[in-house]
Amino acid sequence: MLRAFLDRTVVKQAFDSPEMLTSLGFLESIGITGHNAKLDDNRPEKTDALFAEMKTVHQTLLSYDDSGLDESQLLSKEITLYLLDLIK
């Protein structure tokens, strides 16, 4: 379930960012290119909402019990927490 949570979080962020979608390039492989002509919404309100969401992601991630995670999941959790701590 940890992997599904992380994947869902990343995909949600990607689809809210035309620049990230362009950078990832996976939509172009299926012929979707409308996002390529758009820029991210960089208004302060949008940035504040993103930071608030990342705090929620951080709290949710901390709720996963380490004893129920395999080695790969634990590493993913630790890396994600490290990266989230950088933006606090």
Q: Is the pLDDT of residue 35 over 90?
A: no
pLDDT of 55 above 80: yes
Tally of domains in the chain? 1
pLDDT above 80 for 88: no
Average pLDDT estimate for 25-41: 84
Measured between alpha carbons, how far is 38 from 48 in angstroms, rounded to an integer? 21
- The C-alpha atoms of residue 23 and residue 19 are separated, in whole angstroms, by 6
Distance CA 87, CA 79 (A): 13
Domain residues for the domain of 13 are 2-86
| Cα distances (angstroms) measured from residue 24 to each of 18, 28, 56, 82, 88 | 10, 9, 24, 22, 25
